[in-house]
Amino acid sequence: MANEERVSITIETGIAEVALARPDKLNAMDEAMFAALSSAGERLAGTEGLRAVILHGQGRGFCAGIDTALLMAFAGRIDEVRTEIVTPPPGRAANRFQHPCTVWADLPVPVIAALHGPVYGAGLQLALGADIRLAAPDTRLSIMEAKWGLIPDMGLSKLLPGLMRADQALELMLTARVVEAQEGAQLGLVTRLADDPLAEARAMARAIATRNPEAARGAKALTRAAWPGDDATLALEARLQAGIIGSANQIEAVMAEMQKRPPRFS
């Protein structure tokens, strides 16, 4: 097993398991998690003989979203953050905040996410980067960025279209409401429910590994190309967020949420 600060990776018989390894924080994403997820995806993209990937979270949930301490840290360097948002690395459509989620969609092999507990904000966008999402009955999902006065900006515009209707997606973006697993399946956020999603994901990965690898990769490539949602929208997502983050109303949204009071927007 190769361990990074926030992610553990195991590879056996062509199947990789990538576990978010910050259970004490419900696997909330910080700078180290961003880097670890991006690095893990890039490593697996170059792994020969890979047949399938499983994404899951250690502890009580898959991922509770962005670490609130990171949001506070961004406030001290907001101009730098805005520049990072609208400036992806050379040759890449996704910026450094989008890439930890979109890298899984770009892998050539099928990626299965095993979900349980909270799957919020950045955690949901990470789950959407997988090709298949198996959810435990206790899974709770939310496009939660509106709580912080933001839009979802970690690849959702590439990853969600084709899975749900635009009006349903907009309702979740505007309200930040939490969706139970059964409704998530009905909406298309979840492929299907499983009592033990990790065991089910492992069984599915083993089944995929018995198939012609060229056919499995071809099926993923066909699906990703034929359904809506691609790199073209990532720049728009970034430009919109750069104009919102750090604004007076966005800061007010954060302060109101932290202080548990109604916001006072200008």
171-227: pLDDT as tens digits: 999 999 999 999 999 999 999 999 999 999 999 999 999 999 999 999 999 999 999
H/E run at residue 134: strand 132-135
Q: What is the C-alpha separation between 148 and 253, in angstroms, rounded?
A: 5
The answer to whether the CB of 176 falls within 8 A of the CB of 217 is no
In this structure, are strands 7-12 and 15-20 parallel, antiparallel, or unpaired? antiparallel
- Tens digits of residue pLDDT in 125-179: 999 999 999 999 999 999 999 999 999 999 999 999 999 999 999 999 999 999 9
pLDDT score of 5: 84
- Radius of gyration over alpha carbons of the chain, in Å? 18
Q: Tokens in use for 207?
A: 């089944």
Which residues touch 77 (CB under 8 Å, ≥6 apart)? none
Q: What is the pTM of this model?
A: 0.95
Read out DSSP for 47-86?
A: -TT--EEEEEESTT-SB--B-HHHHHHHHTTHHHHHHHHH
Distance of CA 244 to the CA centre of its chain: 21
pLDDT of residue 93: 96
Structure tokens at 262: 């109604």
Locate tokens 């949930």: which residue?
A: 61
Instruction: Give the pLDDT confidence score for residue 3 in this predicted structure.
Output: 39
Query: What pLDDT does residue 71 have?
Result: 87
Which uninterrupted H or E stretch holds 170?
Answer: helix 166-175
- pLDDT of res. 4: 53
Calculate the average pLDDT of the chain: 96
Q: Quick check: helix, strand or coil at residue 96? A: coil
Distance, CA of 244 to CA of 240 (rounded, Å): 7
| Joined tokens for residue 179 | 């969706």
114 band by pLDDT with thresholds 50, 70 and 90: very high
pLDDT at residue 88, rounded to an integer: 96
Selection from 35, 15, 16, 33 nearest residue 25 by Cα: 33
Domains of the chain: 2-195+210-259 (3.90.226.10)
What band does 1 get if pLDDT is binned at 50, 70 and 90?
A: very low
The pLDDT tens digits of the residues spanning 65-98 come to 999 999 889 989 999 999 999 999 999 999 999 9
